[in-house]
């Protein structure tokens, strides 16, 4: 299951990247069409036959046709190499040209090499729809915004056809990006205080200079990766930071809500993190019997635990966490914050660690 998000821009970014084989073929065809007579069609020089033997015509060693014939074996590779050098190995024009060059006649490639500068000059025109899209988006978003920076760094990966499609659906795209920018803005001080409250399971001292808050779903595969991040944070930073865990079970995960309530039932008995680890280690087994099994394994009072699940004792608290998450822009899991700032990729410990280090330095730690 992918991380749940409604960002149209990220949806478009995640689509399979198309090839532009026809475009690459057109480049080669245009180059070939510019030569009215190919070297192989020129009249070959004739070498006299030996006396008494039948006359035989063959190309002279220095004739243009002989040079062309010698080049045919490598012409297609040479043409693709020149295009890729100009466009960049990761560019779609490079990928398309290498693909198309494998099916073209060698003579066409010979002609294309002779006119390769024509194709190189056209590379800029190919990317113009994406350049125009980026410029328009950043003008409307603001050049100094985080979302504009993301657009500039990622749109270069998009196929031209995708850029054209996004321009055709511009109002929707800019709307999604503006919503993304709003979510990327630092949280208001009162919201920071609220989500860092003591009403949720946590580790680390209450007076830590840096507090991290995570919204998670026990059935979400990416959340299990974020759980590994949480353990690494505890190992590396110890008492320097505080980590708060809030419930955000997604509606399409059947066992996420019962698991969230089970976690809080364990927290009531001082065993939240033990239950947290059990459930993330067994995400495919979160039914009622499984939850009771884990509760028994970590030493919970089973009568209290079962009563909490039977009576939905902690459902209201789970709902409260979800509403709080929604109020700070959480739309998927895992979502993580350091102070007022959202963490872009909670499962990348190195990136999270860099943000923690920056926050600690700012706090004078």
pLDDT, tens digit, for every residue of 139-167?
999 998 888 988 998 886 788 889 999 99
- d(Cα 172, Cα 137) in Å, to the nearest integer? 12
Asked whether 247 and 220 are in contact (CB, 8 A), the reply is no
Instruction: Specify whether the CB–CB gap between 339 and 208 falls below 8 A.
Output: no
Mean predicted confidence (pLDDT) in 44-60: 43
Does residue 37 surpass a pLDDT of 50? no
Residue 55 pLDDT: 41
Please, which pLDDT band fits residue 9 given cuts at 50, 70 and 90?
low
Instruction: Tell the residue number behind the tokens 């046709």, with chain if given.
Output: 65
* Contact assessment for residue 266 and residue 323, using Cβ atoms and an 8 Å cutoff: no
Check residues 184 and 293 and name the one with the higher pLDDT. Answer: 293
User: Which range, of 34-48, 114-128, 299-313, averages the lowest pLDDT?
Assistant: 34-48
Q: Which CATH superfamily is domain 189-362 in?
A: Glutaredoxin (3.40.30.10)
pLDDT at 182: 80
13-19, long-range: CB < 8 A, 24+ apart: 13/154, 13/157, 13/158, 15/162, 17/92, 17/157, 17/158, 17/159, 18/92, 18/159, 18/161, 18/162, 19/92, 19/95, 19/96, 19/99, 19/159
Q: What percent of the chain has pLDDT over 90?
A: 65
* Count helices and strands in the chain by DSSP H and E runs: 18, 5
Q: What is the mean pLDDT of residues 359-365?
A: 90
Beta bridge partners of 337: 213, 342
Calculate the average pLDDT of the chain.
83
Tell me the C-alpha distance between 92 and 81, whole Å. 14
The predicted model scores a pTM of 0.60
Q: Give the three-class secondary structure for 203.
A: strand
> What's the pLDDT at 293?
98
Q: Could you tell me how far CA 142 lies from the centroid of its own chain?
A: 23
CA 325 to chain centroid, in Å, comes to: 23
**Rounded to an integer, what is the distance from CA 56 to the centroid of its chain?**
64
Kindly report, as residue ranges, where domains of CATH 3.40.30.10 are found in the chain.
189-362
Instruction: State both tokens at 39.
Output: 């070297």
Does residue 319 register a pLDDT over 70? yes
Mean pLDDT of 29-36: 36
Is residue 90 over pLDDT 60? yes
For residue 78, with 0-12 CB atoms within 10 Å meaning exposed, 13-18 middle and 19 or more buried, which class applies?
middle
Task: Give the CA count within 13 Å in the CB-facing half-sphere of 15.
Answer: 16
């Amino acid at each position: 299951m992918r991380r749940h998000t409604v960002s149209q821009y990220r949806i478009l970014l995640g689509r399979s990247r198309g090839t532009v084989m026809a475009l690459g073929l057109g480049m080669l065809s245009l180059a070939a069409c510019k030569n009215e007579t190919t070297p192989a069609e020129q009249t070959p020089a004739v070498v006299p036959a030996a006396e008494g033997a039948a006359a035989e015509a063959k190309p002279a060693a220095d004739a243009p046709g002989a040079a062309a014939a010698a080049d045919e074996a490598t012409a297609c590779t040479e043409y693709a190499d020149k295009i890729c050098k100009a466009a960049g190995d990761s560019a779609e024009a490079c990928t398309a040209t290498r693909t198309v060059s494998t099916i073209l006649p060698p003579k066409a490639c010979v002609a294309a090499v002779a006119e390769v500068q024509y194709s190189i000059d056209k590379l800029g025109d190919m990317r113009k729809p994406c350049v125009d899209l980026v410029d328009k988006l950043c003008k409307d978003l603001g050049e100094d915004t985080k979302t504009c920076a993301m657009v500039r760094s990622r749109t270069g990966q998009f196929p031209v056809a995708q850029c054209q499609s996004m321009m055709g659906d511009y109002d929707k795209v800019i709307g999604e990006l503006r919503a993304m920018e709003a979510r990327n803005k630092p949280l208001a001080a009162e919201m920071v205080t609220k989500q860092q409250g003591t009403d949720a399971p946590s580790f680390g001292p209450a007076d830590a200079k840096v507090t991290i808050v995570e919204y998670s779903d026990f059935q979400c595969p990416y959340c299990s990766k974020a759980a590994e991040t949480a353990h690494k944070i505890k190992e590396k930073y110890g008492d320097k930071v505080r980590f708060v865990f809030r419930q955000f079970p997604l509606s399409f995960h059947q066992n996420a809500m019962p698991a969230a309530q089970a976690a809080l039932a364990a927290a009531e008995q001082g065993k939240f993190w033990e239950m947290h680890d059990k459930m993330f280690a067994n995400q495919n087994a979160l039914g009622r019997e499984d939850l009771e099994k884990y509760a028994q394994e970590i030493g919970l009072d089973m009568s209290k635990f079962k009563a909490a699940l039977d009576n939905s004792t902690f459902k209201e608290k789970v709902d409260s966490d979800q509403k709080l998450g929604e109020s700070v822009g959480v739309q998927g899991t895992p979502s993580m914050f350091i102070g007022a700032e959202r963490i872009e990729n909670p499962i990348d410990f190195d990136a999270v660690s860099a943000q923690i280090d920056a926050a600690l330095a700012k706090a004078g730690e």
